[in-house]
Structure 1
């Protein structure tokens, strides 16, 4: 059922048995979003001042963001239709470009803000990449028809991205895209060459393996891999015909999609992990550009199942308001999903999902029969040693879980502070069907050491390894507990964590080292009230209860969280079994394990079906059979 205010075509369940969506649905959604957003444009169309709370960059920057990010939708829409523009979108963006660059920096109705260093007035640099990409995509029908003085003004404004300093992460791809466009229209020089080379050099240092890039010099692995770090270089190579770059980054995209394609639930939901989640169906951008360029392990039917399932997931769950606008949140509005830089137009980075429209209407992406998504196949466990992630999916309920043993949001030059804890990275596990609880509520999927009544948080994550076998896998890490009051750290205190995934079971093993007298340790499970969440202590735990999180999550307005607790001093090992599912299983979770034994720093778990898992600590290793 169409739950959006847009007029969508009839579903085609023969061609698309899983979603009913076709290429025509994608075009209709793009047109609907554009029409709704343009109702908030300034008289000459330079700014789209969408309603809502302003970002930390201010309303003028937010207005530019509205122009630039919707321009991405229009660019993919028109370019994919070989210049056909029945709604006249490009005429509007041409007018806005001329007005916005006429007197940039002025405080009037139309002028765009200047692009300065990221720490001064940085957000316009982000938007310059969208403007440049929109111009690249529509060059024959927009840029080539502009007056020369408008082209010169646009170049001058765009060059601000090249002459100023980006943030030390994926932001280096913004001047990269600006330089890519300028060189494509014959306006290259040493500065554009350096901007491209610098970004590509950094990309090499950030590539960790398994198809995953670090977002900067730290260890942040998240959705920015798909909608930035893979997308921009591939688009540059595709649009400019840079075959050498395509041969370098294309195989990485293919490898990325081997794992990332599993991070979409059976209902189309992307994994709820990392920042900027309000970009929603931009999560499918990597799948789309893989299909467009051929650098993908997925069949066309599986690719369309992922992108259309992802788009429909949010359309069916309130991601679009009654006015046709993308809201700030997840399903609908949700403050905890947002960051300080989120403004009314921020969700329109979802426009990157429309990259799939660059595949023409006769492309197999749109003509092949839709196939099942990877998470709709047999139960899978996939270990990713490079980023330190463990992926677990179950066919019966379509739930995908991500166990995090390697991705944090602490930059290398930063200290660890509990006040900077980010629940979208710091927890032990995430899924396609649950979200983390708010800071004001008990944390889900979290191991906390309490000293003096103050609970710890997990900040910098140190991966210790990952691996897999037939139907099972593991990942391990360690961290220093950080406290919000009193001493920020306890000398000698550390926590080593191992997750072993098998079917729907999650064996969670933690070794606490150096706990002071009077300390307490707690472990929580999945936060939900609609699904079945269970957490059973197998070794070391002596208390079990359930806590409430009244602020809920991005999925539910009110949730429960199972919890285990025990006193701890010195070094101790704690073992638990967790499970998340659509329904309560027929067999009690506690009956899944027959015996647990700890001997000589090695833990042996005998499962009820006869299998045995051995977890060693020095160094961490796991055996299963």
Structure 2
């Protein structure tokens, strides 16, 4: 069977992957210094300066060059080994004016040193073994400063020291078994149920779990000097990865889009990395065909936005599809997006590997609707085959911890994320949560935050039609941000003022969520007559004109249709006002963003109920209210049960009393 016939879903043969990789590698040469030590693509310099940008550009593209060399067994028509060897020689030369920033001079250099070490080990016969003694010693001296340096954050960065020291061990350089064991212990402390790994001690669940915290253990175990260090971890790490991938593969949209949630999203198709890691590790639960389909689907989603496939240039910019500079975080520079090449790890496997000789198989979402929960991040998940959308309702992730009163990070603390929507990515979004929010507004219109909430029960209910259910209780608070906020993941710190305890319950099925809200208690100095308002925000849909929005005050309903996506919020109990917020240039997914919302006067100890919908409209269904099959709900008199009649006539009953218990995740 010819290679192209092995990719019936995506059309991404290995040859096509390799062609894109080579265009990317050739394109960055125009952005390199004459000695090849630094690569700085176009764009504003990052917060750490041009020299760090240059090192980052070298190290991150070196990953891709290494994958190409390893996968081709050293065949090198582009001269990658020689080109990058020259950069290594000059970058590690302490007497070169354009030398690299050292890991003891900049924290960011610790990240990049790991990429250099990893690829030097992976491509040992074609690069390291051919370097002269002087350059080898320069490289060892450059990397050796990490030994004894404990200034590594307690998150995925711990792997950077492990990788560098393992390489140093393989070339008789300095290293510390004790430090490697310490870092591995930190990694193990981040383990959560069902193969999920938090990016540190907080409730930080995002793509780092796949493109870092599952990736590095697998690649590290294959390094030359890691065999004895990794021997008792191999099976356990593979089992964790295997379980994680069962969830991860169901979080990919039908169009190949990964979930738009978490930090560092400018890394784009790095989201494909864990599926290649699964192939390398030979996980038992997913076939090579599914793993390939998942990884190629992610690339197929982003590739059309990288320019013409036949073009000589394929530079990555700060953004999601195209350039969108507002996605830059504090640590982002013009070279940062090249961590995306982790998603091209499959090229390190030879053409004879089963993942390349297997035929693509459908994703779970292409076979049937998906409804499940993920306990570690506290997520309810619904994927619908008809429109290819995956929706996540979040009752467990905020990049914080229970009891913390901080600002909401839009990419972590919202109630909902999907493969077709994005949070509003502006400074105003941090202080005024609207989309996928439940907030109290003071008389001036200032919004509360939910970070620090406590998670309740997360699971499936099988009483009638199956539904995913979850709950959380937030100590809603207003926040005055501390000055000089640096966006590296968590929300802002500052001075918090307690507002009320807000309990939120979600019941998810298909494109619909039933959301119940109750104000449990107010501080003694506040009362309903202070003029507070409860506001619930629906899905924010983004796109370009034309748009359609509507609201019906009598029925307390609002909706928007934009870019083929439909977002609806219907008041079912307690809400008395509905509307749609229109904003411009707040999302990388389109120039206009519409967010339906509901409001109500504050009344403690009363259930407010709303129905939220996100689906995709076909070109022939252009009315935001067309083809609607709206659920009906009812609460028992004692509010212990919620009855739902879904649009297709099936019914569900949810025991609310069981959702009132809370736990700390």
Q: Tell me the TM-score normalized by structure 1.
A: 0.91
Displacement, 1:45? Answer: 0.9
SS in 2 for 1:73: helix
Superposition map of 1:101-500 within 5 A: 101-103=92-94, 108=97, 110-116=98-104, 121-164=106-149, 165-187=151-173, 189=175, 191=176, 193-239=177-223, 240-241=226-227, 242-295=230-283, 297-318=285-306, 323-410=313-400, 416-418=405-407, 421-439=408-426, 440=428, 443-453=434-444, 454-469=446-461, 471-485=466-480, 488-491=495-498, 493-500=500-507
Q: Within 2, Cα distance between the matches of 1:140 and 1:235?
A: 17
Partner secondary structure for residue 604 of structure 2: strand
Query: Could you say what the CA RMSD is over the residues aligned between the two structures, in angstroms?
Result: 2.5
Q: Is the 8 A contact 2:194 2:243 kept in 1?
A: yes
Distance 1:155 1:430, change over 3 A: same
Give me the whole-angstrom Cα distance separating, in 2, the residues matched to 1:127 and 1:464: 40
Q: Is the CA contact (8 Å cut-off) linking 1:481 and 1:489 kept in structure 2?
A: no
State the match for 2:548 in structure 1.
none
Q: Give secondary structure in 2 for the equivalent of 1:133.
A: helix
Contact (CA 8 Å) 1:404, 1:428: kept in 2 or not? yes
- Closer/same/farther in 2, CA of residues 607 and 579 from structure 1, 3 Å limit: same
| Post-superposition offset of 1:390 | 1.7
Q: How many residues align?
A: 601
Instruction: Give the match's secondary structure for 1:341.
Output: coil
Aligned equivalents of 2:308, 2:588: Cα separation in 1: 15
Correspondent of 1:514 among 521, 534, 553: 521
1:621 deviation in Å?
Answer: 6.8
Distance 1:28 1:539 in 2: 56
Q: In 2 relative to 1, CA 334–462 (structure 1 residues): closer, same or farther, beyond 3 Å?
A: farther
- Runs of at least 5 residues in structure 1 that lack an aligned partner in the other structure: 1-10
Are the equivalent residues in 1 in contact too, given 2:471–2:660 (CA < 8 A)? yes
Task: Supply the distance in 2 between the matched residues of 1:103 and 1:45 (Cα, whole angstroms).
Answer: 15
The alpha-carbon deviation at position 617 of structure 1 amounts to: 4.8
Pick one of 584, 606, 622 that aligns with 2:644: 606
Residues 121-161 of structure 1: CA deviation (Å, up to 9, x unaligned): 21111111111111111111111111222112211211223
- Cα distance, 1:353 vs structure 2: 1.2
Q: Secondary structure at the match of 1:181?
A: helix
Q: How many Å separate the matches in 1 of 2:68 and 2:173?
A: 26
Verify the 8 A CA contact 1:492 1:513 in the aligned structure 2. no
Give me the whole-angstrom Cα distance separating, in 1, the residues matched to 2:285 and 2:512.
28
Query: How many Å separate the matches in 2 of 1:68 and 1:61?
Result: 10
Aligned to 2:549: none
1:68 alignment counterpart:
59
Alpha-carbon distance in 2 for matches of 1:469, 1:538:
21
CA distance in 2, matches of 1:478, 1:568: 17
Q: Given the superposition, is the C-alpha separation of residues 491 and 455 from structure 1 closer, same or farther in structure 2, using an over 3 Å criterion?
A: closer
1:596 equivalent among 634, 639, 656:
634
Is the 1:536–1:589 contact (alpha carbons within 8 Å) kept by the matching residues of 2? no
For structure 2, the residue ranges without an aligned partner over 5 or more in a row are 482-493, 542-561
In the superposition, relative to structure 1, how do residues 333 and 461 fare at CA in structure 2: closer, same or farther (>3 Å)? farther
Q: Where does residue 490 of structure 2 map in the other structure?
A: none
Aligned residue for 1:6?
Answer: none
